[in-house]
Amino acid sequence: MNRKNPLGSGFLLLAIAGAVGYGIGLGLDVLATGRLNFSGPVPSAFALLFALTAFFFGVYGYRGITRGLVYQVVGTLLGGLFVTGVRALMGLSVFGPFFFTEPAWVFGALVGVIAFLFGVGVMDDWVKWARGMDTPDHHEDEPGWEKYFGVSLDHKVIGIQYTVTALFLIAVGGLFALIFRTELAASGLQFLNVEMSLFGQNGPQLYNTLMSLHGMIMIISILLGISGIINYVVPLLIGAHDMAFPRLNAFGYWVAVPAAILLLLALVLGGFDTGWTGYPPLSARAPVGMQMFFLGVFTAGWSSILGALNVIATVLRLRAKGMTAMRLPIFVWASVATSIIALTATQLIGLSFQLVMFQRLFGMGFFDPAKGGNPVLFQHLFWFYSHPAVYVFVLPGLGIISELLPVFVRKPLFGYRWVAMSSLGIALVGFLVWAHHMFTSGMNEYLRVPFMYSTLLVAVPTGVKFFSWVATIWKGKIETPTPMLFVLGAIIVFLMGGLSGPPNATIALDLHLHDTYWIVGHFHDTIFGGFVFPFFAAIYYWFPKATGRRMNEFWGKVHFWLMTPSFLILTFGMMRVGLLGMRRRIVDYDPALGFDFTHLIMTICAFGIALSVLIFFVNFFYSIKYGEKAEGNVWNSRSPEWQVPSPMPVHNYDRPFMVVGEPYDYGLPGSKYIEFVDGTGKQPEVVHVKEKH
Amino acid sequence: MRHYVIVGLLVIAMSVLAYFGAHIVWPMPVPASVQATPIDWMWNLQLIFISFLFSVIVVPLFYSLLVFRRKAGDGSDGEHMEGNTTLEVTWTLIPLFIVLAFAYMGAGNLADTLRADPNAMVVKVTGIQWSWKFEYPDYGVVSDELHIPVGKQVLLQMTSTDVIHSFWVPEFRVKQDLVPGRMTELRITPTVEGEFKVRCAELCGTSHAYMEKPVIVSSQAEFDAWMAEQVALAAAAAQTPEGRGQALVAANGCAACHSIDGSAGIGPTWLGLFGHEVELADGTVVIADEEYLAESIRAPQAKIVAGFENQLMPTYGFSEEQIADIVAYIKTLR
């Protein structure tokens, strides 16, 4: 491979291998079906897998992620062939419309995921331990960018791997959104019409697949994004050298990579038409892409569960001396709250999807009324995770808002204890509200009322956060560099999401709002306010810590001022058409409803957001190498990670620190949050600057 | 103190502006049912609180940004204000009281939309991918349009033969899913005469967007006339095979996929189908005779037309006589 221009050789190999894979797939497809179908699923699937693998081969060589991908491709094929062979021996049908039959694809995909984990090398140490061999506590990472393409045990490397993967998935999910947003710009079918065919799907089917995958790919990208920030920041904030379980940490990241590939496979293998919710009986009838979707989400769930376990263990065990519960940085509280949910609820979405998988594979009638099953039961299982999941998405974001506000207003966080406890309050109440997604589902009519009460209760701890933020800003000496702009944008956008929530809780009104674009608008407001804006704020804020350079301030502001109004207009439009009768998840709308103009505006705004994110991407990758040097305490923060030079040293703090004061005592002269323990072993004196009341 | 007075006044002004602005940006469709009244009342109440809470947060936020922003050259920190327990308790307890009040009112509000009239007219609704079937058991009439008299409660007893659908007429506000294997109910009392549309609100597959059928609210007299006409038409159609077939086709929503005018659809068009050659997915060519059409209804996956490989037509469980009737109807489409 060409070491001088790895990206160039990557793209070259991508093109060549893509063409080769397409040819192989086409040949196999002809063998299986006897027809030549150029836009069919099988050639596309092979082209996708081959191109992706070859790209990483060109960039990085045959190791790390490349080896993982090769193992995954080979594992998938071997697993598929194994089941195909067994079927042949049993006298069952050998080939399906997607070359392999559905059981062969599912088993193959499962083998592929496991093979990936062995191939990438994340199991190496465990395998060695099982064989009675020793491994070093820390593995030395490769220098430069190459360490990000292989297994590293350093939480900072893993945090960046998570973050960049999340950004990649945001780009993919956003691209899908742009495609169907363009289709929706006018009534009637523009290009996703019934005559077209791609990946074995006609236009409306492809719309359904893209819309469904937009949802799930964004959700996975959010889960990876929060893992990225938490992984990078939490050990630094609490003064730990690493996460409690570094190998588990690496496993958590790498298991998400084959999961993301399965989701992409779902697109080409016939797609699926259920939305990200995957309700049966529709999901019991969808093409094989449905199974890739289920398996992908199931696999990604492991990342979430194991990551959450690691965060909780790390915060419980590895805090610096003196860092008591009420002296934790507020983002750590938010991370713990979100991890409690992820650790205990994620199993339910895995279980509900697994039950549908088994219904399809083995004819078990869990949700099939003809066999005594109950389709509404799925919805209960599904939402028992998927409602708390939105708090998994937003709690870290709200933590970032609370963490950064004091820095940029130069005032303590107002009501620290209340803000910390409100995160736990939201996490707790979030477990009791799931059935508010089911007010029209045909569940027991009277049971809806207690769920209305519990749902409305969420407004109370959320309100505490908003009021505390406003009180923090009040009379502060406010500065507005890019991270602060995104914090303020997050507050406004999340406020819109929060305020558009209670109407959905009051049941009778929800009977009108449910399953409309009102809900789509509400949801996007909560997620942009609770995750996307804070995520960007966090990246702009901690970018210098990771790279020793800062992102361009001017283009950061362009990003903000383009994205914020575009996004607000987009969601206002969504809510408007929703109230007037626009249902969710439709490829086309009745021109008599008069929505064409609003939809055109919304599409333009969507492209505005895309352009702003593109600007962010350029700024991000450009600044890694050419950004303005920023090695000191760029934001004049009290937080421990800013008291050492950037980029962060490999093993974090050379000297341990000790907490001697409150984290956010801005404006209190002489106060300190931490003090480093020097080499002489002399303990610093604990300073009590203020009176406790 | 001055700051608090200004902000207080601005909050009041902003609340009023936001309230009227919200009604302009977020209008509701024309209400056309008794059930819409309590729902629109609740919507208005929600907008009042939304406008106020929006202003309570946004006004002090922007005021601070303008008035308290860091002046050039000022390197000092802000006031050291740690918190205020009284304030925190206040803004916990007041919202708690408000949401409990909303939940209490919400329960009564729900009861208002569920109020049952013992004399309600029953219509049995079946959701089918991708059409609606309405049966009037009192009259023995089946239609793919919902006709109801104004001012009289109708009780929809709903189910689905395949996947979950959802019955929604935006002007009536209320919505209810149709779940296979069980019966769900929805009560609607229309108050405005006119033509509306029922739109499926739960994603149900490829043609979900087009699962819409007319809902016609008319005076009792017009409704009775329509019903009498339907009874007569049904009686006449029952005399011939193609008449019975056409009724079956309409009631089962076949046109959602198979056009009768030659236009493209999810399934092959029926116009000029009978007696012509059809190319199948495996490359063979067959003649669309009576036997082929009957087989394709009985076992849709037995022979798949080229270009429709990924469409999974469900089996409908028609009797052999019904299949013969439908084939007889298809034969008339030349």
Q: Is the dihedral of CA B50, B53, B56, B61 positive or negative?
A: negative
Q: Alpha-carbon distance A606 to A385, whole Å? A: 29
The DSSP string of A355-384 is: HHHHHHHH---TT-GGGT--HHHHHHHHHH
pLDDT band at A598; cut points 50, 70, 90: very high
Q: Which residues of B touch A495 (CB under 8 A)?
A: 54, 57-58
Q: Where are the beta strands (DSSP E) in A471-563?
A: 549-550
pLDDT in tens, B33-59: 999 999 999 999 999 999 999 999 999
Measured between CA atoms, how close is A472 to chain B, in angstroms? 8
End-to-end CA distance of chain A: 66
Backbone angles phi and psi of A378, in degrees to 5: -55, -45
ipTM score assigned to the predicted complex: 0.90
Q: Which residues of A touch B282 (CB under 8 A)?
A: 33-35
pLDDT in tens, A242-263: 999 999 999 999 999 999 999 9
Three-state secondary-structure class, residue B322: helix
pLDDT in tens, A204-221: 999 999 999 999 999 999
pLDDT band at A31; cut points 50, 70, 90: confident
Q: Which residues of B touch A452 (CB under 8 A)?
A: 103, 106-107
**pLDDT reported for residue A693:** 41
Sheet-wide strand order for B212-218: B146-149, B212-218, B194-199
Q: Alpha-carbon distance B40 to B229, whole Å? A: 37
Indicate whether A690 pLDDT > 50. Answer: no
- Say yes or no for a CB contact (<8 Å) between A285 and B202: no
pLDDT in tens, B92-108: 999 999 999 999 999 99
- Which tokens go with B40? 């629109």
Q: Alpha-carbon distance A395 to A385, whole Å? A: 15
Q: Please give the C-alpha separations between residue A544 and each of A154, A428, A616, A647, A648, in angstroms, as whole numbers.
A: 18, 35, 15, 7, 9
Instruction: Centre a 10 Å sphere on the Cβ of residue A160 and count the other Cβ atoms it contains.
Output: 19
- Which tokens go with B3? 């700051």
Q: Please give the C-alpha separations between residue B158 and each of B121, B176, B249, in angstroms, as whole numbers.
A: 14, 9, 20
CA dihedral A344, A348, A351, A353 (to 10 degrees): -130
Give the DSSP letter of residue A501: S
Q: Tokens 């922003």 — which residue?
A: B69
- If you measure CA to CA, which chain A residue comes closest to B66? A478
Of B312, B318, B263, the C-alpha closest to B293 is B318
Indicate whether A2 pLDDT > 50. Answer: no
Q: Are A406 and A472 in contact (CB under 8 A)?
A: yes
Measured between CA atoms, how close is B290 to chain A, in angstroms? 27
Q: Alpha-carbon distance A111 to A132, whole Å? A: 26
- Which tokens go with A448? 């809806």
**pLDDT reported for residue B275:** 85
Of B142, B202, B198, the C-alpha closest to B169 is B198
Q: CA angle at residue B25 from B21 to B31, to 5 degrees?
A: 110
pLDDT in tens, A635-685: 999 999 999 998 998 888 988 999 999 999 998 888 899 998 875 545 555
CA dihedral A254, A255, A259, A260 (to 10 degrees): -20
Indicate whether A13 pLDDT > 90. Answer: no
Task: State the angle between helix axes of A203-238 and A246-268 in degrees (0 to 180), rounded to the nearest 10.
Answer: 170
A403 CB-near residues (< 8 Å, 6+ apart):
A329, A330, A331, A639
Chain B interface mutation, best of A447, A513, A583, A690, highest count of B Cβ atoms under 10 Å? A583
Q: CA angle at residue A582 from B26 to A435, to 5 degrees?
A: 90
- Which tokens go with A58? 């060109």
**pLDDT reported for residue B198:** 96
**pLDDT reported for residue A193:** 87
**pLDDT reported for residue B151:** 93
pLDDT band at A145; cut points 50, 70, 90: confident
Q: Tokens 């893209």 — which residue?
A: A210
Give the DSSP letter of residue B18: H
Of A197, A449, A617, A243, the C-alpha closest to B309 is A197
**pTM, rounded to two decimals:** 0.92
Q: Which of A415, A470, A505 sits opposite B60 (nearest CB)?
A: A470
pLDDT in tens, A532-582: 999 999 999 999 999 999 999 999 999 999 999 999 999 999 999 999 999
- Strands B212-218 and B194-199, how do they pair? antiparallel
The DSSP string of A131-149 is: TT----SSPPPPSGGGGGG
Share of residues in chain B with pLDDT > 70 (%): 99
Q: Which residues on adjacent β-strands are paired with residue B175?
A: B168
Ramachandran assignment for B212, one of left (phi > 0), alpha (psi -120 to 50 degrees), beta (any other): beta
Q: Tokens 């995104």 — which residue?
A: A486
Taking CB atoms and an 8 Å cut-off, how many pairs form between chains A and B?
Answer: 305
pLDDT in tens, B297-332: 888 888 888 877 766 787 778 888 889 889 889 888
- Which tokens go with A421? 């406890």
Q: Alpha-carbon distance A291 to A672, whole Å? A: 55
Instruction: Centre a 10 Å sphere on the Cβ of residue A679 and count the other Cβ atoms it contains.
Output: 8
**pLDDT reported for residue A689:** 46
Q: How many CA atoms lie within 13 A of A667 on its CB side?
A: 21
pLDDT in tens, A294-350: 999 999 999 999 999 999 999 999 999 999 999 999 999 999 999 999 999 999 999
pLDDT in tens, B205-260: 999 999 999 999 999 999 999 999 999 988 888 888 888 888 888 888 888 888 88
- Say yes or no for a CB contact (<8 Å) between B78 and A668: no
pLDDT in tens, A270-290: 889 999 999 999 999 888 999
pLDDT band at A494; cut points 50, 70, 90: very high
- Which tokens go with A396? 């870290």
Chain B interface mutation, best of A44, A507, A525, highest count of B Cβ atoms under 10 Å? A507
Of B273, B251, B248, the C-alpha closest to B260 is B273
In angstroms, what is the C-alpha Rg of chain B?
Answer: 29
Q: What is the mean pLDDT of residues A20-41?
A: 82
Q: Tokens 């303020």 — which residue?
A: A488
Q: Are B172 and B35 in contact (CB under 8 A)?
A: yes
pLDDT band at A692; cut points 50, 70, 90: very low
What b-and-e string marks burial along A643-668, b requiring 16 or more CB atoms within 10 Å of the CB? Answer: bbebebeeebbeeebbbbbbbbbbbb
- Say yes or no for a CB contact (<8 Å) between B201 and A509: no
**pLDDT reported for residue B305:** 86
Measured between CA atoms, how close is A86 to chain B, in angstroms? 25
- Say yes or no for a CB contact (<8 Å) between B181 and A456: no
- If you measure CA to CA, which chain A residue comes closest to B200? A583
Average pLDDT in chain A? 92
Give the DSSP letter of residue A530: I
